[in-house]
Structure formats: C-alpha cells, structure tokens
Amino acid sequence: MSDLFSATYNPDVLSCLANLSNDEVFTPPEIVNQMLDMLPEDIWRDKNATFLDPACKSGVFLREIAKRLIEAQLPNYEQISYEINEKLRAGGELDGRDIAFQNMLESVIEHVFKNQVFGIAITELTSLLSRRSVYCSKYPQSEYSVVRFDNPEGNIDYEQMQHTWENGKCVYCGASESEYDREEGKEQYAYEFIHLDNPEGVFDMKFDVIIGNPPYQMSDGGGTGSSAKPIYQLFVERAKKLNPRYLAMIIPSRWFSGGKGLEEFRHTMLHDRRIRRIVDYENFKEVFPGVDLAGGACYFLWERDNPGKCVFTNMANGEGCDAIRDLADYDFLVRNNRALKIIETVSAHSSPRKLSDRVSSRLPFGIPTTYKDYETRESGIPCHFTQRIGIKNVHKADVIDKSNLISKWKFLVPKAPIAGQTDFTKPVAFYYDGNTRIAKPGEICSESWLVAGAFDTKEEAESFKSYLLTKTVRFLLLQTVVSQNITKKNYCFVPDLGSYEGRYTDERLLQMWGLDQSDWKLIRSKIGEIGREL
C-alpha cells in the first residue's frame, strides 16, 4: 500500500492536466502549495483539524493537504517509504523497524483521509477525477484505494443538484433557465455547495479550513460570454457563513473594481478586516498557463480570529512586492502597491474634485449600440457610432439629453478602450488620437462612447483632451481597471481641474502634483505609446 501511495502522489501529474473549460480551471500544484503556505504551521500538526474543498475539480487541494498532514504526523515518510520499497525491489527483507513504520503509516493515512480531508465536487466527472487523485481510485471502497471506505464516494461528495427557477433565473446562482434547464442525464452545473440551504449538513460537521478554486461564471441569458455573470463570490460568501478558522480561495481579480454582480461583494471584502493576505497576479496566465482571462487572478487568506490590516502582494514575472494595507481606504482596491503611493501624492496636491463626477454615465444620449434606425434615415441628429459605422443620423425623439450636453463641445472616449488586452503587466494605451473624438455642438454619441467632458468652446475641449491623453492621467485611470469596459466610476482617482487651458503635458502634471522621477518611471512602464502622444 505504501508503494502505491508514494508512487501515485506525484505533484507533477496534475500540472499536466488540460482545463475542462474556462469555468473549470484546474489549479497547478505549485499555486496550491503557495496557498497552503499561508496557513499557520501548527494546523498541520493538529490531528483534529478538518479541511474542506467545496469545489473539487482535480483533487489537487485535498491531495496536497493530505501530504502535509501525513508529513507532520510522520516526518520524512516519503523518503522512508522509498527506501523500504527499494529494499523490497532488491530482494531484501524488512526488519522490525520497517514493519512498525508501515503499520504506523497505514494508521496515519487512515486517520487523515477518513477524519481530516473532505471535498465537494462540482461535477460527476470531477468527482471521479478527484477521488482518483486523492484515494488512487475512482471508487474508494475498492481494494485499489489508498484507504478503504464503506461507500463509493469516500469523503469526496457529489450530488447532482437541480436549479430552482424563478422568473427565468436560478434563485441560488442566477443561472439562466433557458441555458441550463436541461434534460435528465445532462450536467446542470447546479453546484452543490451554493445550492444547499445547509451545506454544513453534507458531512454534518464544522471545518477549520475551507480552501479551493471555485467556478468563475455562468451564463445568465443569451449563451454568450458577454452575458456571463460571476458566481465565484457565492462560494466565498457561503464559505464565510460556515465560519471556518481559515478560508483561502483563488478567484479572478475583477472584484477589485466591482462590476456585474460584484458591487456588494467588493464592499464586503474591502471592509472585512479578517482578510489578512492577498496575492495578486495581473497576468492570469502566470497562475493558469494556457488560460486567458482579463484582469488577472488573486488568492486570499481570511482568518476568523485574527482581524487586522492586510499584507497585499503584487506578483509579476515571478517576483513579489509586499505592502501592509487597509483595504477599505478607497472604494476601488488599488492593486499596485507602488501606484498607491502615487495616488496618495496626487490627492495631497490636488482639489477633491474628481473626473468621476464629470464623465457621463453609460448611454449618455439614450442611443444603444443596437440602434438600427439610422439605416433608413437621411436627416436627424448626427450621432457617433462605432469607428466602423461612423456618424449616422438618429431620430430626435429617440435622443435623451438630461445633462444638456448636445449644445456643448464634447470629448468622446470609447467605453471599451482596451478590448482584447488581458495581460495588465504589459503597457496599456487606453486613449489616443485614433480612438477618441471631439463632437461638435449638435452632435451626440451612441452607447459605444462616454462623454468624458463637455465644454462651451472647442479650445477647452482640446485642452481637456491633452489632459486626458497624458500618461499620468491614464495611469491614474488604470488603477481602477481590471477588465475591458470603463465607466465613470473608474475616474475616481483623476483630479478634475475645473477649467482647462492650454496644452497639458506629463512634465506639467508631475510638477503640479509633486511626483518625482521614480514615480514617472513606473507611470511610463505601465502606459503604452500606441498612437500619437500629445
């Protein structure tokens, strides 16, 4: 048995697995162990400590947890097992000490797998994969299992749940009934952990540690990525309700700035002083090779009994930068520790007015991107659509102008200026001559644009444009961005100068806001040179 155990527990095996989909991302063993390293050392020596992975995919979390627990109770067990197996292969005989070790190893393994390590799989397929990874057998009551259970699941549960539909949505996860109301036998993706009113009843016990990598999103209608809603926050919130001593999960970093379905979650996370550690990767591929997701990924440690400030780590190209921070300092979580210093310096040298109060909301004139009436209209109000469509006339009755902007000179910026860029370790351009517009009085724009500023004269609009196109301003904007879409809220760190005169340059702003050359070096490294710089 020990030979089977040591041979199967190869940390490279699960590194080679392909992901089932972008929503079922397998966690590399090295990342799992970095997350486990956040837990206190004494947890591994506690024979009564219990661990739950509520979103098992490959079983890698439970496997690595089991290895640590066994090592703590029986130090150097892998090396000793290897030496015993080599002795047997060479035709030697085991002495009393070898036999005693094997008996002890069997007892420790029995205790760890039956009393300390538990999981809830997200699908039937991942339940089989997880049991194979953890128990060395898909069916842990079989003779091939590392430890024999009296049931075919062991401590890795899977139950095919059903969504509970109300008004076309699942009341638990928000999934679309049209998308996920499938015939019997097909996977429903009604994840057990978040579809039970009483998930602690699955194993009828409390857990000291809950850790895992939950599914990230589900379609909420339409069947396209653009209509996918996040669900990872539901796993985090449900885990907190179980009140473990420690909670650690790896999730997309998009929650830093909120977004669809994440506003309340972001607010709760930023004000939860039990979050004591966050490790953030701007490039998702640095954590999950081969998987591309805008905004990067992070993992965190939540400690029930030890509130305080958070150690926030920026990770890029294998190197980390730490800072001890209060996450609730701002409504957005500034992910770059060095950038936080720049934001604080700018704030100290500028007025409290921010561009978030000047920039328009989505749909500034009520014309959606799907508007098609212009195809047959020869007269009306000139409207800027996408670059491909250009300026088309729209019906006056379809236009909404609550802020009285039509008569102004307007500087238009695209609502998705970084579409296609997911790796924020590389320079970001945002705005430049080619993707911005100055709209004349009488002209409006569709939902594809935001009105960044509206002015009485063309000269002030052009001056404002030069301000917004500086690297320094775009850098301040970048600190709130983790996806391709930008709203007025993302401008919360950019000072509104009130009136705009002349041409703004980075040199002018650095002097105005008291920034030094080390600040400029960071700004310049993060903002791209795409387009003609003003």
User: What tokens appear for 168 in the block?
Assistant: 């076309």
* DSSP-based three-state secondary structure for 318: coil
CATH topology of domain 351-526: Adenine-n6-DNA-methyltransferase TaqI; Chain A, domain 2 (3.90.220)
User: Structure tokens of 455?
Assistant: 């002015």
Say which residue the tokens 């404002």 belong to: 464
Tokens 């850098």 sit on residue: 475
For residue 148, with 0-12 CB atoms within 10 Å meaning exposed, 13-18 middle and 19 or more buried, which class applies?
A: middle
Nearest to 156 by CA among 190, 188, 211, 203: 203
- Dist. CA 306–CA 274, nearest whole Å: 6
**Predicted TM-score (pTM) of this structure:** 0.82
Tens of pLDDT, residue by residue, the chain (534 residues): 444 444 444 444 455 454 555 456 789 999 999 999 999 999 999 999 999 999 999 999 999 999 999 999 999 888 988 888 888 888 888 888 888 988 999 999 999 999 999 999 999 999 999 999 999 999 999 888 999 999 999 999 999 899 999 999 899 998 888 888 887 767 788 999 999 988 888 888 899 999 999 999 887 665 444 467 899 999 999 999 999 999 999 999 989 877 778 889 999 999 999 999 999 998 888 888 877 777 789 999 999 999 999 999 999 888 889 999 999 988 888 989 999 999 999 999 998 999 999 999 999 999 998 898 776 667 889 999 988 889 999 999 999 999 999 999 999 999 988 776 666 777 888 898 889 999 999 999 999 999 999 999 999 999 999 999 999 999 999 998 877 788 999 999 999 999 999 999 999 999 999 999 999 999 999 998 755 443
Domain ranges for the chain: 2-247, 351-526
